[in-house]
């Protein structure tokens, strides 16, 4: 979300889901909501039933792509070229919103200069999308009254992920498609509380509420509340901690509820790092690849065993409630408190609601949120005060950047970190399927789901299957420059020629062995989405 934060001010979706049925033009980009966010997809389906025009940017022929007015079947990694091309068309045709650009943005000159380099002939070549389609997409999007861009991990999980999001913001800004109901940019992300986990500041550069650790006023606030000095030095990102660990320069990590040894793009490196640590603590509800490297494993409590809140993809803070006692006796918040206390910093709360009160006192965007209010309503942040209703649409007047203006970013096409060649001719795209979730540690323990989808399947286009003489159910070897796996094949038109698809839900066919280790240099988000592979019978 660093992309949106740079362009607009906040790394968050700009609107609320309930506004979706009123969209006039929907640009769905790198997101397959019918699989990854099924209930968001119901809102979008309503919009289609209400007559919304649909543009889909996706290398895969998804449910939505099949129903699109324009399907931009771009080759993986060419997002920026495509978006620059669309902006180029819009400026050339005079379809931009001049007043909006003048009053509410800065940096338009540089953008204009940059996108001029992206004439449609060039863009066609970089993206593989015919220029008529690019023009039509630009027309539909720019001409609509209420236009929304909904993007997903197909945009962020690239080494240019942050820039991809900025390019999306550019497009919305030229058309003035921000700051109104049903008009804005929605990012659909992977994990349930990825928004909250960013908001609450377990991040090396920011305290809770995106307050920078280098800002002395912010530090003072936290020092006053927490009673100890705050380090002014930006900390290490998880990847940096792991890199240093490999070199023997980082010694101990506490991992709460994550499984980098399976879900990180370069599991070899991660495993090496974890085994180099002098002390590793992992807290989780199940044994995972990562717990294998732990010195101490602590049991976690599932969402049914504790009170708390999650913040969803539209900034809505909602309660989870304890339905049963923690199976191992303690919830994570209690464990953190006990550990801090043992290490000489007494922490104690009677209930997670007290923690929320502290959050509210230190985090302006959550300032008006309390469990008492959440009993009666759910609230979209920013909610700065107890009597503030929360915010459904961001940026109605000002952007949350200095000066209140949004910023155009001039961006260049860089492509994927790894492109197919003679030896590895296929692009492997990874993603999610509706039935499973992440490393599968939860869904693989649902009997019925396993009856439906019990193993990893390589999705491959009928044409390619024919070429390789493989059919449904055949086992093939998929290899990249880094490793290989054996996996069964599913022949389907969802995959386009030269692209194949795997999920990362099954450790047995650890698709991440294949992924490239390329990362977005700004956020550290791995390039899960594409790498080059070969397929053999």
Partner 1 sequence: MPGKKIKKIEIDGRKISCEKEETILQAAKKAGIEIPTLCHDDRLEPYGGCRLCIVEVKGVGRPLPACTTPVTNNMEIRTENDTIKRIRKNIISLLLSNHPNDCMRCEKTGDCALQGLAYRYDVDGSRFEGEQWDLPIRDDNPFITYEPNKCILCGRCVRICNEVVMAGTIDLVGRGFNSMPDTAFRKPRSLDNCEFCGQCVSTCPTGALTDKKARGRGRAYEMKKVRTTCSYCGTGCNFDLNVKDGKVVKVTSAYDAPVNHGNLCIKGRYGYDFIHNADRIKTPLIRKGDSFHEATWDEALDLIAGRFSGLMKKYGNKSVGAFSSSRCTNEENFLVSKFARTVFKNNNVDNCARV
Residues that bind ligand SF4 (CB under 6 A): 37-39
For residue 165, the partner it binds in ligand SF4, partner 1, none, with Cβ less than 5 to 8 A by kind, is: none
Q: How far is the CB of 69 from partner 1 (least distance, A)?
A: 17
Binding mask 154-193 for partner 1 (x = CB under 8 A): --xx------------------------------xxxxxx
Show contacts with partner 1 in window 352-391 (CB under 8 A). 352, 355-356, 358-359, 377-378
Instruction: CB nearer to ligand SF4: give 37 or 158.
Output: 37
Binds partner 1 (CB under 8 A): choice among 202, 389, 404, 473: 202
Rule CB under 8 A: say whether 419 interacts with partner 1: no
Show contacts with partner 1 in window 39-68 (CB under 8 A). 39-40, 42, 45
Nearest to 492 by CA among 61, 63, 72, 71: 61
For residue 199, the partner it binds in partner 1, ligand SF4, none, with Cβ less than 5 to 8 A by kind, is: partner 1
Straight-line distance from the first to the last Cα atom of the chain, in angstroms, rounded to the nearest whole number: 40
127 within 8 A of 85, measured Cβ to Cβ: yes
Q: How far is the CB of 350 from partner 1 (least distance, A)?
A: 12
For residue 513, the partner it binds in partner 1, ligand SF4, none, with Cβ less than 5 to 8 A by kind, is: none
Q: Cis (ω within 30 of 0) for the bond into 382?
A: yes
Binds partner 1 (CB under 8 A): choice among 10, 150, 174, 335: 335
Instruction: CB nearer to ligand SF4: give 315 or 407.
Output: 315
Rule CB under 8 A: say whether 229 interacts with partner 1: yes
Distance separating alpha carbons of residues 164 and 167, to the nearest angstrom: 5
What are the strands of the beta sheet with 316-320, ordered from one edge? 308-311, 316-320, 379-380
The angle at the Cα of 340, spanning 360 to 223, to the nearest 5 degrees, equals 50
Span interacting with partner 1, options 32-40, 82-90, 407-415, 416-424, rule CB under 8 A: 32-40
The number of CA neighbours under 13 Å toward the Cβ of 275 is 8
Sign of CA dihedral 177, 183, 184, 186: negative
Rule CB under 8 A: say whether 513 interacts with partner 1: no
Q: How many CB atoms lie within 10 A of CB 462?
A: 14
Q: How far is the CB of 195 from ligand SF4 (least distance, A)?
A: 13
187 within 8 A of 525, measured Cβ to Cβ: no
Distance separating alpha carbons of residues 103 and 101, to the nearest angstrom: 6
Show contacts with partner 1 in window 289-318 (CB under 8 A). 291, 294-300, 302-306, 308-314, 316-318
Rule CB under 8 A: say whether 424 interacts with partner 1: no
Nearest to 481 by CA among 415, 428, 411, 520: 428
Distance separating alpha carbons of residues 504 and 407, to the nearest angstrom: 36
């Amino acid at each position: 979300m660093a992309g949106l934060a740079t362009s607009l001010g906040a790394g968050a979706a700009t609107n609320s889901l309930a506004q979706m049925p009123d969209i006039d033009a929907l640009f769905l980009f790198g997101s397959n909501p019918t699989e990854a966010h099924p209930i968001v997809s119901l809102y979008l389906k309503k919009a289609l039933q209400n007559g919304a025009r649909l543009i889909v940017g996706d290398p895969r022929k998804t449910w939505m792509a099949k129903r699109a007015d324009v399907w931009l079947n771009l080759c993986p990694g060419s997002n920026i070229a495509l978006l620059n091309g669309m902006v180029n068309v819009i400026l050339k045709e005079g379809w931009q919103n001049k007043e909006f650009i003048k009053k509410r943005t800065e940096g338009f000159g540089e953008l204009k200069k940059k996108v001029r380099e992206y004439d449609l002939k060039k863009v066609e070549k970089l993206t593989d999308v015919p220029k008529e389609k690019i023009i039509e997409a630009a027309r539909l999007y720019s001409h609509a009254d209420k236009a929304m861009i909904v993007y997903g991990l197909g945009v962020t999980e690239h080494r240019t992920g942050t820039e991809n999001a900025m390019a999306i913001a550019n497009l919305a800004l030229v058309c003035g498609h921000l700051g109104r109901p049903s008009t804005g940019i929605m990012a659909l992300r992977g994990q349930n509380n990825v928004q909250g986990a960013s908001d609450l500041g377990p991040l090396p550069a920011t305290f809770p509420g995106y307050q920078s650790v280098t800002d002395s006023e912010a530090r003072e606030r936290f020092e006053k509340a927490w009673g100890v000095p705050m380090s002014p030095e930006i900390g290490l990102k998880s990847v940096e901690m792991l890199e240093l660990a490999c070199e023997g320069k980082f010694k101990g990590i506490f991992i709460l509820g994550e499984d980098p040894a399976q879900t990180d793009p370069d599991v070899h490196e991660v495993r090496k790092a974890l085994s180099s640590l002098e002390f590793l603590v992992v807290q989780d509800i199940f044994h995972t690849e990562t717990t294998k490297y732990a010195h101490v494993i602590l049991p976690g409590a599932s969402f049914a065993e504790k009170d708390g809140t999650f913040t969803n993809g539209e900034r809505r803070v909602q309660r989870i409630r304890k339905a049963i006692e923690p199976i191992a006796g303690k919830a994570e918040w209690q464990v953190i408190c006990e550990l801090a206390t043992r290490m000489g910093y007494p922490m104690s709360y009677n209930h997670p609601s007290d923690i929320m009160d502290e959050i509210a006192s230190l985090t302006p965007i959550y300032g008006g949120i309390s469990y008492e209010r959440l009993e009666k309503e759910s609230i979209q942040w920013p909610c700065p005060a107890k009597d503030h209703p929360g915010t459904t649409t961001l940026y109605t007047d000002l952007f949350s950047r200095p000066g209140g203006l949004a910023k155009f970013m001039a961006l260049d096409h860089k492509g994927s970190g790894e492109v197919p060649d003679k030896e590895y001719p296929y692009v492997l795209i990874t993603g999610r399927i509706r039935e499973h979730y992440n490393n599968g540690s939860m869904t693989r323990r649902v009997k019925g789901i396993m009856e439906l989808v019990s193993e990893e399947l390589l999705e491959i286009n009928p044409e390619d299957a024919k070429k390789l003489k493989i059919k449904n159910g055949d086992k093939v070897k998929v290899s990249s420059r880094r490793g290989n796996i054996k996996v069964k094949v599913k022949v389907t038109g969802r995959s386009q020629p030269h692209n194949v698809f795997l999920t990362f839900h099954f450790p047995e066919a650890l698709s991440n062995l294949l992924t490239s280790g390329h990362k977005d240099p700004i956020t550290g988000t791995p390039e899960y989405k594409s790498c080059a592979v070969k397929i053999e019978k």
